[in-house]
Structure 1
Amino acid sequence: NRRLINVPLIKGEERYTIDFEGIERAIVEENVTLFLLCNPHNPVGRVWTEDELKRLGDICIKHNVLIVSDEIHADFVWKGHTHKVFAALGESYAEHCIVCTAPSKTFNIAGLQVSNIFIPNDSLRRRFIKEIDRAGYSQLNTMGIVGCEGAYKVGAPWLDELKEYIQDNIQFTIDYIAKYMPKIHVYRPEGTYLMWLDCSQLPLSPKERDEWIVNDAKLWLNTGSMFGIDGEDFERINVACPRKILEEGLESWRRAYEAKGF
């Protein structure tokens, strides 16, 4: 019986920011008790700074709001930015949060269904374990445990190479779209391997744009509307793939773009 209260991020030319006043207003007016934080943020690619996180945390602590911090993309943070674990901001923040991570995005083992949930607050952790036990889904599968342990023990060199490859793919995508599809604006991600593309300058409705991409460009992107009304003008691309596949996809989109005469 939860209700979702949406407070949109503030869209800037090159990055998004948090609407702190809007969040506090919504907490008070809607009697909010749980805040869902995504850091690094999917889909806009922001890596929230320590100051931003503390300001957000202070608002939630003031109004006794529990923070669930989804940090599943924490291993993908790019040059000039640093990921801050919410629970590591200080004791008061740790006592009011649940931190969620996983090896699934980093090491491509989502099929093993394993994740990590950190709850520093003893009372809250006991409540959580009780609910998990009641759900009957309290035990990890054997392959998930082994896969997680193996990834964290020996996966660092592979991950270092992967991050270099993905950063090159990000730059390639930014350069390609700027050169061949200039009416599409790319938000450079500070973190994650997901590209957030502003298509609002295209003379197409969200429905028309999606049909054009599927039928003409022969691509299946993540349409921004899946993230709510604030994402309707956007498309999302996953660039954590071989360069050849990325090039083929962008070239197909380019041909459809040129055929439309944009």
Structure 2
Amino acid sequence: MKRRKYEIDFEDFERKIIENNVKLFILCSPHNPVGRVWKKWELKKLGDICIKHNVYVLSDEIHSDFVYPGYKHTMFNTLSEAYEKISITCTAPSKSFNLAGLQISNIIIPNIEIRKKIKKEIAKVGYSSVGIMGIVACQAAYEEGEEWLNELKQYIYSNLGYLRNYLEDNIPEIELVEPEGTYLVWLDCSKLGISGKKLEEFIIHKAGLWLDVGYIFGKEGDNYIRVNIACPKSILDKALNRLEKAVRELKNEIK
């Protein structure tokens, strides 16, 4: 089966910067929801365009721990000193170690002047002091959580294989967009013949599932749904069974 893949339209990217007088580019790396792990040459091309037009880069790398075999995550700000000067890198232990409730994240800003401005803005909104529990949990996760994280990634990779096979064998109308990273999987539902709000209603009321429907990411996502596979395999199986039943009923209705 031919695997579809999302790619960057660099000409369109540069054109939008010029036409909209863009000053800050938010880079999602690895990309959510399409699951791309950007290659070095892609990041460099984006970086060069941003430098050319004096655009700062906010690099959201919160999913960087979740990269599948055969792929490697590269931090944008490590590729050159020039990129380092224009970059603000955001990471967190929340995705990797399920610590979102503790409100802790990391902002890496090598450029001292930018760092001062960001710290000033953070203080204005009351986030200048984080909770002690979050700090302790973050340190514990990074210092002692490697074994747990490695086992988690193997489990998620196994879930991905299960999802892939289940769709191919039982719900061929829904196609997996093969991810290179993240545990949020992008599924193409074009063959169902419904999209946008109608697809959302189908997922909620017919399949009995609460998933992210693609239109929330823009009109290009109208035919897609996003599934979180960072869960027990029994839960994933139950969800797929419901989805299969709903698709089968939909096909019968169309007939």
TM category, shorter: over 0.9
CA contact (8 A) 2:173 2:191 kept: yes
The range that moved more, 95-104 or 175-184, is 175-184
For residue 22 of structure 1, what is the amino acid of its counterpart? D
The range that moved more, 55-64 or 204-213, is 204-213
CA contact (8 A) 2:199 2:213 kept: no
Please report how far the alpha carbon of residue 134 of structure 1 lies from its aligned counterpart in structure 2 after TM superposition: 2.1
1:95 is paired with a residue whose SS is: helix
1:17 is paired with a residue whose SS is: coil
Structure holding more helix per residue: 2
For residue 144 of structure 1, what is the amino acid of its counterpart? G
**Counterpart selection for 1:206 from 196, 220, 224:** 196
Q: Which residue of 2 aligns with 1:229?
A: 219
Please report how far the alpha carbon of residue 181 of structure 1 lies from its aligned counterpart in structure 2 after TM superposition: 1.0
Please report how far the alpha carbon of residue 257 of structure 1 lies from its aligned counterpart in structure 2 after TM superposition: 1.1
Q: Distance in 2 between matches of 1:210 and 1:136?
A: 36
Q: Which residue of 2 aligns with 1:91?
A: 81
Over aligned residue pairs, what C-alpha RMSD do you find? 1.2
Q: Which runs of 4+ in 1 moved over 4 A?
A: none
Give the TM-score of the pair, scaled to structure 2. 0.96
Q: Which residue of 1 aligns with 2:130?
A: 140
**Counterpart selection for 2:233 from 230, 233, 243:** 243
- The percent identity for this pair of structures is 51
Q: Distance in 2 between matches of 1:165 and 1:137?
A: 34
Q: Does 1:53 align with 2:43?
A: yes
**Counterpart selection for 2:18 from 28, 52, 55:** 28
1:36 is paired with a residue whose SS is: strand
Q: Does 1:110 align with 2:103?
A: no
Q: Which residue of 1 aligns with 2:165?
A: 175
For residue 69 of structure 1, what is the amino acid of its counterpart? S
Q: Does 1:100 align with 2:100?
A: no
Q: Which residue of 2 aligns with 1:257?
A: 247
Structure 2 residues not aligned, in runs of 5+ = none
Change (3 A) 1:157 1:56: same
2:190 is paired with a residue whose SS is: coil
Structure 1 residues not aligned, in runs of 5+ = 1-11
Q: Which residue of 2 aligns with 1:63?
A: 53
